[in-house]
Amino acid sequence: MIPASTITPSGASHAAFPPADQNLVLDAPIKNWDDAIPLGNGLTGGLLWGEGSTIRLSLDRGDLWDGRPHSEAGWWKKLTWKVGGNWNEPYAGRTPTKLPSGRLEISLDPSQKIKTFELNMASAEGFVHFAGGGKLDAFFSAVSPATLLRITGPAPKALSIRPTSAVKSLGYPVAKTGDDGTAQWYVQQTKVDLTYCGYVETRRVGEQTLVAIAVTSTNDGDDPLQLARDRCMAALDKGYTVMLAPHAAWWRDFWAQSSIDLPESIFQNYYVLCRYYYGAASRRGAPPMPLQGVWTADNGELPPWKGDYHNDLNTQMTYIGYPATGNFDQGASYLDFLLGLTPAFTEFAYDFYGTAGLSSPGVMSLAGQPLGGWGQYSLSPTMTSWNAHMFYLHWRYTLDERFLREEAYPWCKAAGDCIRELLKPDDQGVLKLFRSTSPEIFDNSDRAWLIPNSNYDLMCMKMQFLSLAEMACALEKVDEETQWRATADALGDFHVNDKGILLLDVKTPLTESHRHLSNIIGMFPFNLITREGGEEDLRRIRASLEKWDQLGTSWWCGYSYSWMSGLRARVGDAESALRHLEIFVKAFITRNGFHVNGDQTQSSFSNFVYRPFTLEGNFAALQAIHEMLLQSWSPTPGQRDTEIIRVFPSMPWRWHDASFTDLRAEGGHRVSARRENNATTWLRIMAGRNGEVRVQDNFESRMPEWNRKVTRRGNLFVATLKKGDVLEAMLTKPAQVPPAPEKLAEPVVTRNDSTEAPANAGDGK
């Protein structure tokens, strides 16, 4: 044993802010809104782009929605889950939909030409650098409801703010506009109880032009125009520097929660960018991120898929990565949203499923109303099971007892009550749903109705009931714990063939390339089938993933790659995890990092080559990196406080040296570690609770030197700590990097990297 004072984290990354070399820098011109520099403060967002002497700032606000139903109001009360019907028809109209806001356009002095755009990660500022000197600075204040721009050099030649033309298709009246010399605005009335305003005001101060912007609505008050005018005036009176100070302080705290350091800049910089998206697009007190966050399309059209909340993977993957970063307020935005919609979800469970409890529709609006769509998925009750899992993980990572008692368990219990009432025993006593599906296999055809229970439904429900048992145990609700555990057991085992391949249901194999990892969700993000679960689990993992490899990626989307990367890391296949992550980062994003579903390089990574922007692929990639660096899931889900800390559990060979600081683990622990020459050489754990801390021995026969008493239990190192205690260890650094593995993840080459197409390039249909 060595004293803690002799252990120093000299190799660990302690940078509170991303350094400047991790900023996003894009050469001009930027001609597309979805290539722009993304800015935001959770409620409002902007996209900074342009060319020549023209700067554009696309504006968005998260609570601008038109909630008018396309079909008869309350249509789901007639088209119940058991009766069936045309569930797709309600989704066919233009509404309900997220609404784009408008755009600010600045014509610079002709002497100023745009050279580059930059996103300063540390301060969340956007910069536009001009050829020959001078620049524009911009930020969406993290603490005030205003946006400020500062233009150094000659005053702009012209400036205008205007609403989007996309709302014409919704039958809205033409927006009212105004101009009083230093200010311009528009006020857009809608067909619902909503009016919103875009406002800009300028002020010349010495050799600089200050520009204040506000997007307000009747959600803020009765007179959004006056409110916008007041907010802009207050911001201009304070000035750019004074307004920036508390904004920058907010971002310092955001970044200070944790950090990582990877040896390849393509992954390091992308991780930082995706984490930045959390701070810019999600904030407690604001609506959570829908498909496009606070960056709704600025192309004269309404957003793809209505910019809604898809609960068959999109919302869950969008919020999958925040617990490990420690940015819990960002994730609480979605949980608060679900909690606030409890009355609507309770009514929906009764009206559509005929049950007690609550259910969150698989596809829904800001108000929580079901939008319909492919009924097999948009109205599946198990989408609520996956949402419940997010409450469970938030509790596991924070160990917030009040949250568990007052929010997480009541919501998850109500969700469990709905599902449990839908389940009926078959002749063997196995609990079954009336209908069962597996997103998004067989699309909207009759084949999509599978034999209950599909593996997807079964895995979602089993994870839900085991989590409820664990939460009930923590609350000392012994009878409820027993009931939840019995329900999980009565669901039976997962469906496999004689080779151990996970099927879609009891009879149906997966026989085609598929974008949604629905039948293997039990491996990740759930911890139902694990590499520590015994020989049968290992057989199922190997056989099922071999089958997925055989079926290929022709019908994958970008999120399929980032999700599969996290799954491969979870099961210990580090090289495959890196390969899938690299394909995603190189082929399925735009210049600014946005995930756009299709293969933008047309390198035959997918038949999808289209460009709709959705955020979930970004955050699934962020979490995939977490899975490589640190895992803390329990090998016995449903049993309280059985998490195991695994440091660098799935590191690819190419990442010889890496470190992370204060990543969070289940149990509320903060973990830091350093890796050199492909081996852990230092780790530190600050305990998040009283009790045992278990660290898996994956140290290749090197014995850690601990700073306090540690005992050996199988392949675990175990220490009994109090909350706040620190456990540290040093390990010897290997003399050299080990040989590369046989299945090394070689650098991915895309069509963009070569003048010749890769050998496997197809026609991209």
> Which two three-digit tokens encode residue 4?
């803690």
Q: In angstroms, rounded to a whole number, what is the distance separating the alpha carbons of residues 471 and 467?
A: 6
Q: What would you report as the CA-atom Rg of the chain, rounded to the nearest whole angstrom?
A: 26
By C-alpha distance, which of 201, 229, 216 is closest to 59? 216
φ, ψ (nearest 5 deg) of residue 416: -65, -35
Please list, in sequence order, all residues whose beta carbon lies within 8 angstroms of the beta carbon of residue 356, skipping any fewer than 6 positions away: 349, 350, 414, 417, 418, 421
Q: Is 713 exposed, middle or buried (0-12, 13-18, 19+ CB in 10 A)?
A: exposed
Q: Is residue 231 part of a domain?
A: yes
Torsion of CA 159, 161, 162, 166, to 10 degrees: 110
User: Which residue's structure tokens are 């520099």?
Assistant: 37
94 near 70, Cβ under 8 Å? yes
Domain that holds residue 156: 31-64+99-256
What pLDDT score was predicted for residue 544?
98
Looking at the predicted structure, is the pLDDT value of residue 540 above 70? yes
Looking at the predicted structure, is the pLDDT value of residue 755 above 60? no
What pLDDT score was predicted for residue 84?
75
Quick one: DSSP state of residue 11? Answer: T
Q: Is residue 189 part of a domain?
A: yes
> Which two three-digit tokens encode residue 305?
């898929």
Q: Which amino acid is at 43?
A: L
Average pLDDT over residues 523-549: 98
The tens digit of pLDDT for each residue in 465-475 reads 999 999 999 99
Q: In angstroms, rounded to a whole number, what is the distance separating the alpha carbons of residues 293 and 545?
A: 32
Q: Which amino acid is at 709?
A: K
The tens digit of pLDDT for each residue in 620-647 reads 999 999 999 999 999 999 999 999 999 9
Q: In angstroms, rounded to a whole number, what is the distance separating the alpha carbons of residues 472 and 481?
A: 5
Handedness of CA 228, 169, 47, 371 (dihedral sign): positive
What band does 756 get if pLDDT is binned at 50, 70 and 90? Answer: very low
663 near 670, Cβ under 8 Å? yes
What pLDDT score was predicted for residue 724?
98
Q: Is 410 exposed, middle or buried (0-12, 13-18, 19+ CB in 10 A)?
A: middle
Structural domains in the chain (count): 1
CATH number of the domain encompassing residue 165: 2.70.98.50
Angle at 661 between CA 6 and CA 127, to 5 degrees: 135
Which segments of 426-530 are extended strands (E)? 431-432
- Beta-carbon count within 10 A of 736 CB: 9
Tally of CA atoms within 13 A in the half-sphere of 505 that contains its CB: 19
Q: Which amino acid is at 745?
A: A
Q: In angstroms, rounded to a whole number, what is the distance separating the alpha carbons of residues 633 and 689?
A: 16
What pLDDT score was predicted for residue 132?
86
What band does 754 get if pLDDT is binned at 50, 70 and 90? Answer: low
The tens digit of pLDDT for each residue in 666-692 reads 999 999 999 999 999 999 999 999 999
Reduced to 3 states, what is the DSSP secondary structure of residue 273? Answer: helix
Q: In what order do the strands lie in the sheet with 158-163?
A: 37-40, 44-51, 54-61, 102-107, 158-163
Q: How far is CA 710 from CA 432, 703, 707, 726, in A?
A: 46, 12, 9, 12
Q: Please count the helices (runs of H) and the strands (runs of E) in the chain.
A: 17, 31
Quick one: DSSP state of residue 753? Answer: G
Looking at the predicted structure, is the pLDDT value of residue 193 above 60? yes
Q: Is residue 222 part of a domain?
A: yes
What band does 757 get if pLDDT is binned at 50, 70 and 90? Answer: very low
CA–centroid distance for 317 within its chain:
5
Q: Which amino acid is at 315?
A: T
Q: How far is CA 651 from CA 379, 514, 572, 585, in A?
A: 39, 27, 9, 17
Average pLDDT over residues 134-151: 97
The tens digit of pLDDT for each residue in 249-285 reads 999 999 999 999 999 999 999 999 999 999 999 999 9
> Which two three-digit tokens encode residue 671?
């973990």
Q: Angle between the 409-422 and 455-474 helix axes, to the nearest 10 degrees?
A: 140
The tens digit of pLDDT for each residue in 8-62 reads 443 334 445 899 999 999 999 999 999 999 999 999 999 999 999 999 999 999 9
The continuous run of DSSP H or E covering 309 comes out as: strand 309-310
What pLDDT score was predicted for residue 10?
36
Q: In angstroms, rounded to a whole number, what is the distance separating the alpha carbons of residues 116 and 410?
A: 51
Q: Which residues pair with 577 in a beta bridge?
A: none
What pLDDT score was predicted for residue 758?
30
By C-alpha distance, which of 342, 348, 484, 331 is closest to 414? 342
Q: Is residue 676 part of a domain?
A: no
What pLDDT score was predicted for residue 79?
87
Q: In angstroms, rounded to a whole number, what is the distance separating the alpha carbons of residues 269 and 274?
A: 9
By C-alpha distance, which of 597, 95, 92 is closest to 373? 92
The tens digit of pLDDT for each residue in 348-359 reads 999 999 999 999
311 near 362, Cβ under 8 Å? yes
- The mean pLDDT value of the chain amounts to 95
Q: Is residue 152 part of a domain?
A: yes
**182-207: b or e for each residue (b if 16 or more CB lie within 10 Å)?**
ebbbbbbebeeebbbbbbbbbbeeee
> Which two three-digit tokens encode residue 249?
């302080």
Q: Is residue 335 part of a domain?
A: no
Looking at the predicted structure, is the pLDDT value of residue 764 above 60? no
Q: Which amino acid is at 628?
A: M
DSSP codes of every residue in 169-231: GGTPPPPEEEE-SSEEEEEEE-SSS-EEEEEEEEEEETTEEEEEEEEEETTT-S-HHHHHHHH
Q: In angstroms, rounded to a whole number, what is the distance separating the alpha carbons of residues 271 and 411?
A: 32
The tens digit of pLDDT for each residue in 566-587 reads 999 999 999 999 999 999 999 9
Q: Is residue 56 part of a domain?
A: yes
Average pLDDT over residues 340-346: 98
Q: In angstroms, rounded to a whole number, what is the distance separating the alpha carbons of residues 56 and 75?
A: 41
Reduced to 3 states, what is the DSSP secondary structure of residue 117? Answer: strand
Question: What's the predicted TM-score (pTM) here?
Answer: 0.96
Query: Do strands 176-179 and 125-130 pair parallel, antiparallel, or not at all (unpaired)?
Result: unpaired
Q: How far is CA 218 from CA 104, 228, 344, 352, 447, in A?
A: 21, 11, 22, 32, 46
Handedness of CA 335, 337, 342, 348 (dihedral sign): negative
712 near 547, Cβ under 8 Å? no
Q: Is residue 45 part of a domain?
A: yes
562 near 621, Cβ under 8 Å? yes
Q: Which residues pair with 366 in a beta bridge?
A: none
Reduced to 3 states, what is the DSSP secondary structure of residue 686? Answer: strand
